[in-house]
Amino acid sequence: MSSDITHPVVRPRRLRTTAALRRLVAETSLEARQLVLPVFVREGLGDSEGPRPISSMPGVVQHTRSSLLAAVTEAAELGLGGVMLFGIPEHKDAEGTGAVDPDGILNRSIRDVVGEVGDALPVMADLCLDEFTDHGHCGVLTGDGRVDNDATLAIYAEMARAQAAAGVDLVGPSGMMDGQVGVIRQALDGAGHTDVAILAYSAKYASAFYGPFREAVDSSLQGDRRTYQQDGANAVEGVREALLDVAEGADLVMVKPALAYLDVLRRVRDAVDVPVAAYNISGEYSMLEAAAANGWIDREPAILETLLSIRRAGADVVLTYWAAEAARLLAR
Ligand code: PBG
């Protein structure tokens, strides 16, 4: 093809001429149905007090029972892909017994939310002990203070049965214990819950960007999770974790965090044959909100560009605290 310096023959700009043309050739879409809203519900928070703001996550709250139901009803009306529930118990102990108690805050809230939205909105729940343990780790500890993988698996099995009995559609094991997906699948099937799906937090990295979440769930953690969450240096290992989870029966796999791990997300998307989710986590949310609050960034386009980047990198599903707002922006 002939071209000279001043008159190129090939002109990619031609397809960018109008908004309608750009829409015609857009490779990646961002739709409400792809977005999942994580929600926090706090035990003992009364309606008189109302939802409690999380200072490090402006716009995100710890819900009361009734504000939670309002939020999930709105999520269903907006056509979101789902909600992911996190419970904050009043009392914690070394074994995280609140997690397996049918009347614990998380299991009770699952029942409430499913009663409210029925099949109109997929209801997901975090399946992990860290909100329920007084030491803040995702599993129970050995006598010398290490996280005991296999003892934790037995509790996860019980937690999965409790969440399924409460009516959850998908469980989200996020504790990064080896073998957790297989054990949970067996536990669910053994109790007749063959239709409850597993959204596995497969490639979950130890990250500084979880900081604001620790406030969101009143975490008791001292130290870090580096003996079970992955080292940020490792992408091949992220693919390995995802493949293992698919082999153990995961229905969807997740990469988390999203933004600092978009390369892992792409590799996982190319390696597996199940839907892939990514979690646009608390620190990613708070950074953008802080910049916007300072007038340093144009908030709404920055939110949509962030979510689109995660979709483009390979996520079929995006968990984001902006899910409801983004759905409203997309409908404009
Ligand atoms: C563990 C869990 C965490 C998040 C989701 N599930 C915290 C952690 O692993 O330390 C983080 C979510 C976020 O930062 O938005 N139950």
All structural domains of the chain with their residue ranges: 30-330
Say yes or no to pLDDT of 2 above 80.
no
Measured in angstroms, how far is the CA atom of residue 281 from the centroid of ligand 1?
8
3-state secondary structure of 239: helix
- CA–CA separation, 274 and 63 (whole Å): 32
Q: Among 131, 135, 210, name the best residue to mutate to test ligand 1's pocket (greatest count of ligand atoms within 8 A of Cβ).
A: 210
- C-alpha pair distances (Å), 127 with each of 11, 80, 162, 315: 51, 21, 10, 21
Residues with CB under 6 A from ligand 1: 126, 128, 130, 174, 210, 213, 225, 281-282
3-state secondary structure of 198: strand
- Please, are residues 57 and 289 in contact by the beta-carbon 8 Å criterion? yes
Kindly indicate the confidence band of residue 1, based on its pLDDT and cuts at 50, 70 and 90.
Answer: low
256 carries an active-site annotation: yes
Atom in ligand 1 nearest the alpha carbon of residue 211: 14
92 carries an active-site annotation: no
Check residue 212 and give its pLDDT: 96
Check residue 5 and give its pLDDT: 77
What is the average pLDDT across 29-50?
A: 97
- C-alpha pair distances (Å), 160 with each of 14, 94, 143, 186: 53, 19, 25, 10
Say yes or no to pLDDT of 38 above 70.
yes
DSSP state of 118: G
- Name the pTM for this structure: 0.97
CATH topology of domain 30-330: TIM Barrel (3.20.20)
Task: Dump pLDDT digits (tens) for 203-246.
Answer: 999 999 999 999 899 999 999 999 999 999 999 999 999 999 99
